[in-house]
């Protein structure tokens, strides 16, 4: 099936009351991406010709999050069938002219669905089924709808749990809600769906029985239960995160990274790792992180929006913020924070340092306690440090300022003006000394303490 033969309807109108949140359920994050964003990514891997996200009234924040994809509003919110019908006008006459076109129905709160599974559903559609339903076998079927399959393996009906007989409830194959339906059949089937059921809603699942009654072929495709995990509560969100992270950790190791304590490493949806990367325990990757071959991330580091070059060493206890770029062989040590700064090849920032809005040249050495004073209360300013420069410990570089190539800054300096290449700059108070004064001071203080004790 080509993308021109495929349209996607993604249902995201649910309020998610069990989340106990002011934010729509589908905008909660999993691995740094919204739930609806995960579902959209799986759908768009198939290159559909059309994609419509169904939202509820007033869900402008969801519409903004899924833009530029089109949206349709489900006004009544009377079940999944009603939700799909809300997208009819937005899709126009898609697929009306032939049987090859398919409309795929997905859910914005099912973030773990995989494009490979959706491709298997589309293959079943192309093999002749007018309706394909994605099923799964959970450990606890509880109140899921059941898929009724005949002896030949054809899908005959979907029965909601509340409407099922005891025999039907004993069936282990359950309905995920995900469907692939012939575009030429979907709207006619939905127009015949009624609401005569325990909840008084229009069930999308009822089209299976109607299609079978019309002599149309229906099929079921199975997926692992974890893949169709729906998120309806904070506990569900945590469970989905755990499943996603476990899979990503396995993938990282399969692709050549060493994770010394996999369970304590947290990835984002777009984390990129090279070969022979080593990641120690308790490392967190936020969105936008790329780690090149041979780099090492030591324990208790937090990275977000960062590019780490080959052979770079980071941490332990380092924080790399958005805009940080560490070039080949550079080093960032313990309790160092880097933000919107470039660290040149071989440069070292080993201890207790803040580099913000800065460029550090190749092989430069930044001493412990150095800070770039990049914010004046209104605007950010940059610090430029040349290649091979040496910045002594406990130095404050007040931006905007430039330290030339090979320059040396004396420890404890506050630098407010540019320093030329190969110069030595020292900017600190003159040291004074009074010999014997410490002994005199101690004796005076002991007497004061003794007098206060007698009072």
Asked if the bond preceding 63 is cis, omega within 30° of 0, the reply is no
Cα separation, 16 vs 232, in Å, equals 6
Give how far the C-alpha of residue 315 lies from the chain's centroid of Cα atoms, to the nearest Å. 23
Residues facing 383 on adjacent strands: 358, 401
351 belongs to the catalytic site: yes
Report the distance separating Cα 109 and Cα 21, nearest Å: 15
Catalytic residue among 38, 302, 351, 381: 351
Q: Which pair of tokens denotes residue 64? A: 């903004």
Give the angle subtended at the CA of 40 by the CAs of 307 and 202, to the nearest 5°: 160
In whole angstroms, give the CA distance from residue 23 to residue 14: 11
The three-class DSSP label of residue 13 is: coil
Kindly give the residue spans of alpha helices, DSSP state H, lying in 111-205.
115-126, 166-169, 183-191
Buried b / exposed e over 249-282, threshold 16 CB at 10 Å, is beebeeeebebeebebbbbbbebebbeebebbeb
Q: Exposed, middle or buried: residue 183 (CB in 10 Å: 0-12, 13-18, 19+)?
A: buried
**CA dist., res. 292 & res. 363, Å (int):** 19
Phi, psi angle pair for 219, to nearest 5° = -140, 160
Which amino acids are annotated catalytic?
A: 351
């Amino acid at each position: 099936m080509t993308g021109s033969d495929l349209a996607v309807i993604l249902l995201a109108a649910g309020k998610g009351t069990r989340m106990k949140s002011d934010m729509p359920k589908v905008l909660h994050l999993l691995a740094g991406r919204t739930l609806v964003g995960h579902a959209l990514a799986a759908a768009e891997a198939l290159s559909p010709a059309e994609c419509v996200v169904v939202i509820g009234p007033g869900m402008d924040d969801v519409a903004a999050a899924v833009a530029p994809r089109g949206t349709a509003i489900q006004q009544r919110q009377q079940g999944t069938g009603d939700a799909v019908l809300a997208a009819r006008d937005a899709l126009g006459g898609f697929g009306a002219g032939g049987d090859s076109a398919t409309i795929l129905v997905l859910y914005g709160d099912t973030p773990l669905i995989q494009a490979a599974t959706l491709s298997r559903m589309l293959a079943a559609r192309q093999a002749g089924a007018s309706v394909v339903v994605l099923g799964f076998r959970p450990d606890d079927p509880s109140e899921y709808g059941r898929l009724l399959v005949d002896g030949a393996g054809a899908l005959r009906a979907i029965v909601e749990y509340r409407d099922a007989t005891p025999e039907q409830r004993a069936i282990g194959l359950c309905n995920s809600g995900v469907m692939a339906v012939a575009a030429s059949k979907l709207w006619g089937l939905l127009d015949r769906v009624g609401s005569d059921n325990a909840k008084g809603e229009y069930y999308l699942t009822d089209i299976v029985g109607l299609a079978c009654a019309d002599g149309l072929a229906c099929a079921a495709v199975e997926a692992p239960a974890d893949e169709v995990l729906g998120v309806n509560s904070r506990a569900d969100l945590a469970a989905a995160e755990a499943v996603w992270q476990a899979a990503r950790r396995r993938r990282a190791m399969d692709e050549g990274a060493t994770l010394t304590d996999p369970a304590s490493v947290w990835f984002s949806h777009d984390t990129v790792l090279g070969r022979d990367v080593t990641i120690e325990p308790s490392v967190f990757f936020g969105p936008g992180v790329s780690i090149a071959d041979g780099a090492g991330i030591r324990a208790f580091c937090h990275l977000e929006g960062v590019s780490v070059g080959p052979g770079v060493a980071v941490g332990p206890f380092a924080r790399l913020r958005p805009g940080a770029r560490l070039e080949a062989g550079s080093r960032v040590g313990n309790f160092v924070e880097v933000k919107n700064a470039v660290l040149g090849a071989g440069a070292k920032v080993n201890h207790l340092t803040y580099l913000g809005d800065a460029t550090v040249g190749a092989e430069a050495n930044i001493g412990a306690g150095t800070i770039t004073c990049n914010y004046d209360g209104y605007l950010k300013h940059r610090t430029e440090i040349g290649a091979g420069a040496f910045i002594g410990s406990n130095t404050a570089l007040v931006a905007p300022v430039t330290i030339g190539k090979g320059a040396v800054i004396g420890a404890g300096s506050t630098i407010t003006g540019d320093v030329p290449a190969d110069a030595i700059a020292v900017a600190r108070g003159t040291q004074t000394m009074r010999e014997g004064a410490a002994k005199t001071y101690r004796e005076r203080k002991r007497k004061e303490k003794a007098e206060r004790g007698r009072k």
